[in-house]
Chain A
Amino acid sequence: MALGKNLRRSIALGGQYAGLIAFAIFTTFPFVWALSVALSADPSHIWDFPRSFLPTDISLMWFERVFKEMPFMTYLKNSTLMSFWTIVAVVVISVLAGYPLARLRFPGRGLIFVGIIATLMLPSEVNIIPNFITLRNFGMAASHLQEVLHLPDDWNMREWIGLNSYFGAIVPNFATAFGIFLMKQAFEQIPQDLIDAARVDGATELQIMWRVLVPVSAPSIAALAIFTLVNAWNDYLWPSIVMTGKEKLPLAVGVFNDLTGPFATSTSLVMAAIVMTVVPVLIFFAFTQRYFVSNLSGAVK
């Protein structure tokens, strides 16, 4: 009987591993393929399946070429800057909106929340035209202000907040229904006693939020940050519409504009650029994943 039990356990365990491995292969194979192609100095096998998964004549040549063919560092800097500020803004806005929705009682609370959630139903393309017009008006207002205040011409304030500005490329992503929803749920998980304790200890509403609720909700905030990073890093459509100057393009747009299309030089080059585009997100994830562990243990019995 003992043997039968062990056998059954092994089969169950084997099944679980097989499932997980299959899933891992399914999710990583595009990246592995891109990496393999990028590492192959000889591109002759890149379309032979499954031969293409093994690099031929390994070298970093294509990666070097990426730096020569396009301003990779400029795009990387733009992407980093835009993603960083998007994350900061999304977290701040989601926390500030989630707290009252979860914890304060005021008239219309339910209605406001339903309104926010309803925006999830709209496809994001609906926003493109209104946002474009709004941004153009922002730019005109800025340049008008510049004229009125007799500020120097080379300030070019139109491109601070209008079209072809970093601000314009990321501002529509700041307030997300998903982020507000996530933070509201996170704050609702927190026991009322903890908030009452802070109130008795003399904390104001804002102090309760920043010093107690936010640290306790760190896992949710980390999740929101990762999710926002991936979205912001990969955002293609809106920046490609708003940004006209090459020096302000993020990676996703830059790689596509410079390395694909009718005059594209090489698939290997594109793959190398893609690998380099993805790696920063992976590194960020590696460093933040430990915050995903629950932070609430020990607070209340």
Chain B
Amino acid sequence: MASVTLKNITKNYTKDITVIKNVSLEIKDGEFIVFVGPSGCGKSTMLRMIAGLEDITGGELYIGDALANDVHASKRGIAMVFQSYALYPHMTVAENMGFALKLAGVPKTEIDQRVRKAAEILQTTHLLERKPKALSGGQRQRVAIGRAIVRNPKVFLFDEPLSNLDAALRLNMRVELSKLHQDLKTTMIYVTHDQVEAMTLADRIVVFNAGIIQQVGSPLEMYENPSNLFVAGFLGSPTMNLLEAQLVGLEQGVAVVRLPKGITLKASVEASRGKVGDKVTLGIRPEHLRLAVGDEAGAVPARVDLIEHLGDHILAYIEIPGINEILSVKVAGNVTNLKYGDAIRVVFPEKNCLLFDAEGLAFKRVA
């Protein structure tokens, strides 16, 4: 087991194309870290650099206390699980799992023993003599994970390991990966573009965009206090409602903003670094928007555009006259009288509203 430390890591493919820009991060021993971000944000490249499959252009990578920049992939004490599983098609499951040990010259009896133990953990003992082509997708993924476990690595690297599985299986494997981490207590670095996987698996999430770390933190912290617009929009499903607005008033712990058409709203944020007249963005999550009861003060009139019934809750897409954005509202599943075209009024609770400045950086929320 080991910590992983990235110090000012940079990756250039050519002189002009920089895909990772000065990334620094400390990953603690035994931590489950998830790199998340849209396609092409550099998260996979970062993982491959940690694995030793890509050269590091600049900066330092430490695995444990040892500088690992120029250490061969096989000598870093890492094991990697690939999105495509990458099983050797001509070898049986047991041979696949034992290949690394065989190359390292481990005696045959010990290889057998370690392969059996890993197979037991993953309940794949009955598959050991099969070839990969005789396995289902889920079984292949287990074998790929087993191949990593057998090596007894200091750090596990997962490159979108669940994205080729169907939805139900993905859910199962997610739970199993979580359990596996609890059992092995090994450092794990997991890359995904699926923010649900990130939220559920991670001790800490690292959000990447355009080769830069946007924010690092625990899933809940990131969800509740995104540090910028990108993180706010990326985490959460459906995504946070974001509205263009203008700062019109600053009070102690409350900012007053005006939406187009003169609607004013309040947000409990410390906005003293902004000034009246600034362009800002107001953000509020769908589950925090609320239908007004009676003629509640401060409620904003809107019209229902579309209703999605999802069983336990309803998603209502609404439009506020004069504002181009469609807002989504999460409503309890028993509110069944909403329908297309209804005129409603929604409340933006002050304590749930987030505010971002013109650069997209969040104003600190007031607890």
Query: Could you mark each residue 186-223 of chain A with 1 if its beta carbon is under 8 Å from any beta carbon of chain B, else 0?
Result: 00000101101111111100010001100110100000
* Pairwise interchain contact B74-A203, C-beta atoms closer than 8 A: yes
**Does A262 belong to the interface (CB within 8 Å)?**
no
Residues in B neighbouring A199, C-beta threshold 8 A: 52-53, 73-74
Min CB gap B357→A, angstroms: 42
A196 and B140 in contact, given A295-B90, A298-B132, A298-B133 (Cβ under 8 angstroms):
no
Residues in B neighbouring A11, C-beta threshold 8 A: none
Min CB gap A271→B, angstroms: 43
| Of B74, B75, B134, the contact of A298 (CB 8 Å cutoff) | B134
* Pairwise interchain contact B89-A296, C-beta atoms closer than 8 A: yes
**Does B88 belong to the interface (CB within 8 Å)?**
yes
Per the 8 Å Cβ criterion, residues 269-295 of A in contact with B are 295
Residues in A neighbouring B18, C-beta threshold 8 A: none
What's the Cα separation between A193 and B75 when bound, in Å? 18
Instruction: Name the residue of chain B whose CB is nearest to the CB of A215.
Output: B90
What's the Cα separation between A217 and B83 when bound, in Å? 22
A207 and B103 in contact, given A191-B84, A200-B52, A297-B133 (Cβ under 8 angstroms):
yes
* Pairwise interchain contact A193-B83, C-beta atoms closer than 8 A: yes
* Pairwise interchain contact B80-A300, C-beta atoms closer than 8 A: no
Query: Could you mark each residue 154-195 of chain A with 1 if its beta carbon is under 8 Å from any beta carbon of chain B, else 0?
Result: 000000000000000000000000000000000000010110
* Pairwise interchain contact B84-A301, C-beta atoms closer than 8 A: yes
Report the count of interface residues on A (CB-CB < 8 A). 24
| Of B80, B88, B134, the contact of A212 (CB 8 Å cutoff) | B88
Query: Could you mark each residue 340-358 of chain B with 1 if its beta carbon is under 8 Å from any beta carbon of chain A, else 0?
Result: 0000000000000000000
B interface list, Cβ under 8 A from A: 48, 51-53, 73-75, 78-80, 82-90, 99-100, 103-104, 131-135, 137, 140, 147, 151, 164
* Pairwise interchain contact B86-A202, C-beta atoms closer than 8 A: no
**Does A299 belong to the interface (CB within 8 Å)?**
yes
What's the Cα separation between A198 and B99 when bound, in Å? 8
* Pairwise interchain contact A200-B140, C-beta atoms closer than 8 A: no
* Pairwise interchain contact B88-A194, C-beta atoms closer than 8 A: yes
Min CB gap A66→B, angstroms: 43
A200 and B89 in contact, given A298-B135, A301-B140 (Cβ under 8 angstroms):
no
What's the Cα separation between A300 and B104 when bound, in Å? 24
What's the Cα separation between A300 and B132 when bound, in Å? 9
Instruction: Name the residue of chain B whose CB is nearest to the CB of A197.
Output: B86
| Of B86, B90, B99, the contact of A300 (CB 8 Å cutoff) | B86
* Pairwise interchain contact A299-B74, C-beta atoms closer than 8 A: no
* Pairwise interchain contact A196-B80, C-beta atoms closer than 8 A: yes
* Pairwise interchain contact A299-B87, C-beta atoms closer than 8 A: yes
| Of A197, A207, A301, the contact of B137 (CB 8 Å cutoff) | A301
Residues in A neighbouring B52, C-beta threshold 8 A: 199-200
Residues in A neighbouring B134, C-beta threshold 8 A: 298
